[in-house]
Structure 1
């Protein structure tokens, strides 16, 4: 593993991110927070509209000031029980938006060659920002790592470099106070960032897990078609649809040499289809499409024949599911 990052490698890593689910996570959560339905107050019965508005305005002041993310998060955690559910939901979504927007600058700071070199010299597998902080004697590096952690990010190793990504598990402390759709959205995104689905053009999770995640995303879209975060979840489902029916360049669904569907996918897809045959997902469009696909593939003796390719072009065209 090299410990230096020249400009060409930085570009290569960024290209990698753009081609994976992580890139989608970094880019698709910057929508406005309009269209949030006003709901019943959060659990505190003493909440009033005036007091809730005052807290909301104070939060915004903290959130949008320079390096305001850590302070805004602490303030929100201390006051979220004192606002209406509408304001709680609005503030959590605004916090997510600003964290996503600030992530580019934080990534650039961490990719500075001498910073990466320092981090990689003390890094141990699956380290967190906190663990890395405990090993460095450099005050500037410790300050950067603390800011990244307190700004709501977690650290991952990608292609020999250390990156900050969104830490959606950090939003879990707010799920009791927000609208149900945003609660479910946070859970979906936490799964994505806790165990990354794809890296370097290869799948990092199993085929049953791919379908399990996709089904949760599909359920969200069916249950909350007008949610403020519908677009983000739809982008995720688009990715997972391509994973399901095509795989990725380095883990294709059909082996490049034998042109046969990989055995793990055959086994995993059959298991999921059988398991959900009489479940709450038995009306899933994704599973119906997968069931038909498996029939076509079985008729072709699990080889990627012209018939299989034609079916994919008609029913799962890549252009339809490629996110802009």
Structure 2
């Protein structure tokens, strides 16, 4: 059994990358032009339809207010999402995510009851990921849903089924499984929601499918990290008035630090020569070719500094990262 303090620390560190939740939706914003609709949907606007629609949303909001579990909300959404207005469909998915976030700690605590973790690990083939290669970690990082039927403890089987049906994944962090929101699974609602929400889910799905960092090591290449940075930058520019901009701006800042500096176990330089790695240098050169982006501008400045230092990454180079990070964030905020 892990202590609550260690659990909270681990969840906070991982969620910094995977499920940043700094932007809580105090109100729902949606533009009908951003939502796919057809004549059948528009017919809901009749008086009888309005009354029925009002009852559906009233019941849904009551479920949210009463903190019904994600699986209950999903069942209700699946049954009713085609019966409500486009903006209300967006509201449903936004509030579902809020409830999913609220239940992460509760489900994680329940997963440490009895010998639950031992049984989950026994079904996952690799009991301790830290000693494995990066390829093995990627392959065995998530609990295989096909193994649910192999769980012998009925209470655990019920819990895992409920978590998965609530559109979570179980990820192995330091030899224990924790729930994270499965944003890839939320894409089933793409045809019902706004472009802004779809783009947001696409970005979040990158990390729920393949985490950026685990145990101080980058799990993706620097080229892939650059792609994630560009996706977030494009989102901020495209949806400058969106209610998720602040959240994704923080995510961009986190990605950028990793791109400029690397991680504890994945620095951008060779640890013997302190020379910048070829992989990183190649990625920076590719990024610089992207026209009219904040990222290419910042990397261009960074490359000039690195070249002047004979491609050696020392304290003088590292000291420039905060300045470059702050400049990038300021430039992106100008887009809002």
Q: TM-score, normalised by structure 1?
A: 0.86
State the 1:138 CA deviation.
Answer: 1.4
Residue 60 of structure 1 aligns with which residue? 61
3-state DSSP of counterpart to 2:191: coil
Cα deviation digits, residues 136-166 of structure 1 (max 9, x gap): 1211110110111112211111111111111
Distance 1:126 1:309 in 2: 31
Unaligned stretches of 5+ residues in structure 1? 277-281
Distance 1:73 1:29 in 2: 23
Partner of 1:19, secondary structure, is: helix
Q: Report what 1:69 is aligned to.
A: 70
Alignment counterpart, residue 228 of structure 2, candidates 209, 213, 217:
213
Deviation, 1:58, is 2.0
Q: Is the 8 A contact 1:197 1:205 kept in 2?
A: yes
Of residues 112-121 and 287-296 in structure 1, the stretch that sits farther from structure 2 once superposed is: 112-121
Counterpart pick for 2:299 among 268, 290, 293: 290
| Residue 39 of structure 1, CA deviation | 1.9
Question: Once the two structures are superposed, what CA deviation does each residue of 1:143-199 show, in whole Å capped at 9, x if it has no partner?
Answer: 110111112211111111111111011211112111211111011111111000001
CA distance 1:245–1:29, shift in 2 (3 Å) = same
The alignment partner of 1:137 has SS state of: coil
Tell me, in whole angstroms, the C-alpha distance in 1 between the residues paired with 2:10 and 2:230: 26
Shift of 1:93: 0.4
SS at match of 2:32: coil
Structure 2 alignment gaps of length 5 or more: 126-139, 331-336
Among 3, 6, 12, which residue is 1:18 paired with?
A: 12
Map 1:193-204 onto structure 2 (within 5 A).
193-204=208-219
Provide the aligned C-alpha RMSD in A: 2.5
Match of 2:134? none
1:47 aligns with 2:44: yes
Q: What is the count of residue pairs matched by the alignment?
A: 307
> Partner of 2:152 in structure 1?
137
Residue pair 1:30, 1:101 contacting (<8 A) in 2 also: no
Matched, 1:189 2:204: yes
Q: Confirm or deny that 1:102 pairs with 2:103.
A: yes
Distance 1:316 1:30 in 2: 21
CA distance in 1, matches of 2:84, 2:167: 22
2:79 is equivalent to residue 78 of structure 1 = yes
Would the aligned equivalents of 1:202 and 1:250 in 2 still touch at CA under 8 Å? yes
Deviation of 1:283 (Å):
0.9
**Aligned CA distance change for structure 1 residues 248 and 113 (closer, same or farther; 3 Å):** farther
Residue among 24, 30, 39 paired with 1:37: 30
Q: Which of 249, 273, 276 is the equivalent residue of 1:234?
A: 249
TM-score (norm 2): 0.83
Tell me how far apart the structure 1 counterparts of residues 71 and 267 of structure 2 sit (CA, whole Å). Answer: 41
Q: Distance in 1 between matches of 2:67 and 2:13?
A: 31
1:29-50: per-residue Cα shift (whole Å, max 9, x none)? 6602415034257332322244
Q: Do the aligned partners of residues 313 and 240 (structure 1) sit closer, same or farther apart at CA in structure 2, a change above 3 Å counting?
A: closer
| C-alpha distance in 1 between matches for 2:119 and 2:300 | 50
The 1:208/1:313 distance shift into structure 2, 3 A limit, reads same
Displacement, 1:62? 3.3
Q: 1:265 aligns with which of 280, 295, 302?
A: 280
Within the alignment, does 1:165 sit opposite 2:180 as a pair?
A: yes
